[in-house]
A and B are shown apart, each in its own frame.
Chain A
Amino acid sequence: MRQKIQKRDNDTLLEGNLITSQLEKRKLNLFIDISGTIIIIFIFLFPFLWMVGMSFKDRIQTFQIPPAWFFKPTLENYRDLFSREIFGHYFVNSLLVVAFSVLISLLIAAPAAYALSRFNFKAKKDFSFWILSVRMAPAISVVIPYFLLGSLIGILDTKFVLILSYLTFNIPFAVWMLKGFISEIPIEIEEAAMVDGYSRFEVFYKIIIPLTATGFAATSILCIIQSWNEFTFALFLTTTNARTLPTIVTQFLTFQGVVWGEMSSAATITVLPAVIFAILVRKHLITGLTFGALKE
């Protein structure tokens, strides 16, 4: 018993300086809360904000030590960046590849997700788990046959091959996400509609799709984020025509050291859409990233 008390005392001691009164305990808690909040924001937000800030600095300010905390923002870097043809080209490629790949994925995934959440059949579990392991396959392994087959058929460096390769992770992901959303719709609604003479297909697009609209939106946004950020396929399968934004790093790696400002502006523009989208779907982010293991 004494040991126990001793231990508890030690724990209290660990928490801070001798806690004598309730008031001091409250002060200590406030201190922990405030310093914790500051530390988290400093570690995780500061590097991001610093990048954005750097994109508005002129060349001298970027290299200034001690760093320029306050400065008159300039748009020079963005002007330089947009004057490079390559940037606009990459940007448009990114948009097109992401849009088509996500759209096609949803079209293909939606019926599969419906079947997996509504029908009972023997291989159901095996099929859904097989789909999940497809999603896990490392891009660097999948990209080799894509590169070789692509060059044999002659489709390398096209948006088509990129869209195709993005389906390999978007379809499994979309099936898995949509399955979760569809399963939340009570089956009674469907049964009632079928009694009213709706066919399965009508039930699907007149009832299920409208009812899971938010689910579809969240799924497509998560697909957009992963496709937008994809690097490996884009690096291997394209050279000039179909390059996307994440591969712009290869442009900067060669003459690194001179154009930090421009680099940061390219980084900011590439990163910003993904970040905004992620904050929009924050409620579904963890569900998505854990493949439905955690529901919020």
Chain B
Amino acid sequence: MRKSNKAPFIWLAPSLIVLFLITIIPTLFLFYTSSVNWELGLPWSDRTFVGLQNYLDIFRDFLFQQAVKRTIVYTVFSVSTEFVFGYIIASFLSRKSVRWKGLLIGTLIIPMTVTPSIAGLIWRLYFNPNYGIINYFLHFFKIAPDWYSYSLAMSSVIIVDVWQWTPFVALILFAGLSALPSTPFEAALVDGASKLQIMRYITLPLLKPIILIAILLRGMDALKMFDVVFSLTGGGPADATELLSMLVYRTGFYQTGMIGLASAIAVVLLVVIILISQLFIKILGEKREEV
């Protein structure tokens, strides 16, 4: 039935050509700009080739090291919180007796579709120490944290991420839980296993690939987080929430215009995320073969 080996390539050609032009060429160009010394505003011809100097510079740079640390803290805290709450919500949704599941799922869909830059802006109002709704609720407990302060700014960003993306983790895990076979659970109940034992030895191992998929997807998103931080804290106060993406923005565009350095940071971020995505792809491939 198949006419020739060339057939698939005619179908693939448009996407191959377009993706080559709009992704491969820009990426190569990014690698190139990461090896030049050039400032925004100068004529393009004023650039000088510096090889790997930009990379050496950023790795020695205190701001970069701090941004890496913050990005890791941000990613670890938000993803793990999302996983814990997501798992609890997913287990709750799997209870047979819970009614209004449609309403609950509809509710969960809303935060993750809210435009992230807008979510940052709105939560900025909610976090306002004087007029914000959050401190209004907290005053019943006699606490009034200053969410804009240096020590709490990172927590505010994490809270917004957790609000937006816990539902995503919850819905993935809920879908995963619903698809689990029932036999192992019945057998465990017959053997008198406790709820915790069932979770530890049956549910979590069976759910492992799906948990990994959820965590990796969230992890990659958290590593490249930009819009929420931009509108919630702008990286501040005093660098407290300066994540890697914000550092790229500030180095390359907002304050200094050091395109070479910004490109080098961007390449580091790109490489890290592509490496993680290979892990994701591997798990995805294995999962697809099962089906």
List the interface of chain A (C-beta within 8 A of B): 4, 7-8, 11, 29-30, 32-33, 36-37, 40-41, 43-45, 47-48, 50-51, 54, 62-63, 65-67, 107-109, 111-112, 114-116, 119, 121, 124-125, 127, 129, 131-134, 136-142, 144-149, 152, 164-165, 167-168, 171-172, 175, 191, 194, 200, 225, 228-229, 231-232, 235-236, 245-247, 249, 252-253, 256, 260, 263-264, 267, 270-271, 274-275, 277-279, 282, 285-286, 289-296
Once the chains bind, are A256 and B12 in contact (CB under 8 Å)?
A: no
Binds A, one of B53-61, B72-80, B99-107, B149-157: B99-107
Once the chains bind, are B121 and A48 in contact (CB under 8 Å)?
A: no
Given contacts A138-B224, A256-B124, contact A249 B104 (CB under 8 A): no
Indicate which residue in A54, A140, A175, A191 contacts B15 across the interface (CB closer than 8 Å): A175
Once the chains bind, are A11 and B194 in contact (CB under 8 Å)?
A: yes
Which residue of the partner chain A has the closest CB to B227?
A: A231
Which residue of the partner chain B has the closest CB to A4?
A: B192
| Chain A residues within 8 Å of B112, by CB | 278, 289
Give me the 9 closest cross-chain CB pairs, A-B, nearest first: A138-B224, A115-B11, A145-B26, A119-B8, A278-B113, A112-B15, A141-B266, A136-B277, A231-B227
Q: How far is the CA of A50 from the CA of B9 in the complex (A)?
A: 52
Once the chains bind, are B115 and A294 in contact (CB under 8 Å)?
A: no
B141 to chain A, nearest CB (A): 15
Once the chains bind, are A289 and B11 in contact (CB under 8 Å)?
A: no
Once the chains bind, are B259 and A115 in contact (CB under 8 Å)?
A: no
Counting chain A CB atoms within 10 Å of each CB, the highest count among B12, B89, B291 belongs to B12
Once the chains bind, are B192 and A8 in contact (CB under 8 Å)?
A: yes
Q: Size band of the B side of the interface? A: 35 or more
| Contact mask for chain B residues 247-278; partner A; CB cutoff 8 A; 1 contact, 0 none | 01100110000010011001101100110111
Additional A-B contacts beyond A137-B27, A253-B231 (15; CB < 8 A): A4-B192, A8-B194, A36-B92, A44-B110, A48-B110, A48-B111, A50-B133, A51-B122, A62-B131, A112-B11, A136-B277, A145-B27, A167-B22, A231-B115, A246-B116
Once the chains bind, are A138 and B136 in contact (CB under 8 Å)?
A: no
Once the chains bind, are A152 and B110 in contact (CB under 8 Å)?
A: no
Once the chains bind, are A141 and B30 in contact (CB under 8 Å)?
A: yes
Once the chains bind, are A146 and B19 in contact (CB under 8 Å)?
A: no
Residues 121-170 of B at the A interface (beta carbon under 8 Å): 121-126, 130-131, 133, 136, 163, 166-168
List the interface of chain B (C-beta within 8 A of A): 1-3, 5, 7-9, 11-12, 14-16, 18-19, 22-23, 25-27, 29-30, 33, 44, 89, 92, 95, 97-100, 103-118, 120-126, 130-131, 133, 136, 163, 166-168, 171-172, 175-176, 179, 192, 194-196, 210, 213-214, 217, 220, 223-224, 226-227, 230-231, 234, 245, 248-249, 252-253, 259, 262-263, 266-267, 269-270, 273-274, 276-278, 280-281, 283-285, 287-288, 291
Indicate which residue in B16, B163, B281 contacts A43 across the interface (CB closer than 8 Å): B163
A218 to chain B, nearest CB (A): 14
Given contacts A140-B245, A231-B116, A267-B118, contact A66 B136 (CB under 8 A): yes
Q: How far is the CA of A218 from the CA of B130 in the complex (A)?
A: 43
Once the chains bind, are B175 and A296 in contact (CB under 8 Å)?
A: yes
Once the chains bind, are A136 and B273 in contact (CB under 8 Å)?
A: yes
Once the chains bind, are B109 and A40 in contact (CB under 8 Å)?
A: no
Once the chains bind, are A138 and B273 in contact (CB under 8 Å)?
A: yes
| Chain B residues within 8 Å of A171, by CB | 15, 18-19
Once the chains bind, are A290 and B274 in contact (CB under 8 Å)?
A: no
| Chain B residues within 8 Å of A292, by CB | 284, 288
Once the chains bind, are B115 and A140 in contact (CB under 8 Å)?
A: no
Counting chain B CB atoms within 10 Å of each CB, the highest count among A65, A131, A140 belongs to A140
Given contacts A44-B110, A131-B19, A270-B115, contact A145 B11 (CB under 8 A): no
